[in-house]
Structure 1
């Protein structure tokens, strides 16, 4: 890496960086150091407990996640960036409105963050523009951009740099922005002034723990990903545990419950970018419609979005579970059952065993 850190006024540079970041749509930026050794025991305990499930890459990377200077040699500072993602037309009562949708079993629920453009693409492009502006100001320097794309202890870095504190659901919470935001980082070889961490403000509240449908938050600040609906519907590529399927309700991609109930999210901010506005058919779709998508239609409708990464087969697996739960929630003789049954029966002979198994389970509901 370059030795540009000794040739610049770091405080003046940081003032400029904050202005550039705001112009690029970031809500907040901060700076953390690279000594995360205090977080290593907790990381290892989490991995040893198997709470990472089948996300084998987490165990494979081990402590490199907590050692920025090993991941990118020469790193001495980490710039952290927060970007709010609530769509611009989000109503004031959005939390209550989203929770109410859980009570309408025929609706399909995808996490708020996943209804627009893939945040990896948005954040990476804008973080790269930010580092380009820094390079224009000071000349070449060592850097690397991350957007949930490498073994980075993202929440720890965010908390240490003043983006917020770790909530009991393990997400980062901000007094100004709740938790409805994305995080990204730039590892740099520049000596930048550290930004001050904030205190925790959860108090005795345990709303996120109590609302979790699968009780995946096994203790404050401790999440068993193997039970988390976000993990099950996105990261997990095999059959979903039958004991957990009824608890998933109509959530087909991710789960926002712990955020919807959080009091701090009354301060969640709307995005300044149109990228995160919901695409047609994802904010208010019904299960039958989405289950009817062919693979070609699935790929077309999810192009450029985060949902595409799970593929059509897992998409159908997830919706089959939701359809089964909808059948179980409706009384015999209810006219709304017929299209649900017909939709499932149309996929009963699907060529992929994973889909067939979940469809058969749903039909038995």
Structure 2
């Protein structure tokens, strides 16, 4: 790959991978400079208020790299850099990102790297912005209150054992809300989800009355999420009501994701713990490969149905782990694992018909595709010295 002399060599080497990885909580694409500079300011403010990130100007939403027009002209590059500096001045407090250029296949891309800021919130036109997944959006009143909690209270929240119990509940809620909506609306899983929602709501209420929750100013938010889970547990299904059930499930998942991002994500998970998780995933991948290989050889002896049930539990576990910050893995690998985990657990919803084994073979084929993808992801895991 030829790197232009005015481009940063390391960023240029990373650019194809960043573009192929798609937008995420820490990566934003812009095909061109927005007509309203405030639209760019909102992205930068959101990065500063969250985990930081990179804005790639000259990369399209689909990951293609058309580049910035006339980027080879130094005057054009200087003008773009001045505009970015100006944009950052309308953010309150101002943000000072790193501004570099990268090149790929003759195209120039402006890379704006924003570090996580020292302030809790950053404002544009009087509104605070945060990053939620691949989207920058205004912070809700609850998020603003949480961000302004005194640092001492935040530290107490991070270091308290109740946080572990909360993290487990929130991860489970997110896993359920991300499960395919069609599966959630089918029996027996709709009943299972309703029962789980009731259990999670009870656990959140137990946590909300602890000294930890009150001191950390999260007691009301735990109760609010519990109320959303009550809606799931008490939902009455009727013809044409699927969308409404999906709405209440999504609302619970969204609230869980917000609180997890604010309270759980900032806590560093030890490398030893992460190593144990990754080794467990690798072991489960081997187990699944053997299980579905056996099921594929004898599809008529009940092994497929048994494998579906066992894979359901394994998929749940793998998916849940991906909602924690496993810093040893690239974000793209973590998202792949989540997709695979959710796909594995959803295999149980595939029906078996009296069709001479065709439906059984479809299940086996789909399972083996997911297992192969899981094995490929495991191959990307870091290797640990014994």
Larger helix proportion of the pair:
2
TM class by shorter chain equals under 0.3
Larger Rg: 2
TM-score of the pair, normalised by structure 2? 0.22
TM-score of the pair, normalised by structure 1? 0.23
Q: Which has the higher contact order (CA 8 A, sep 6+)?
A: 1
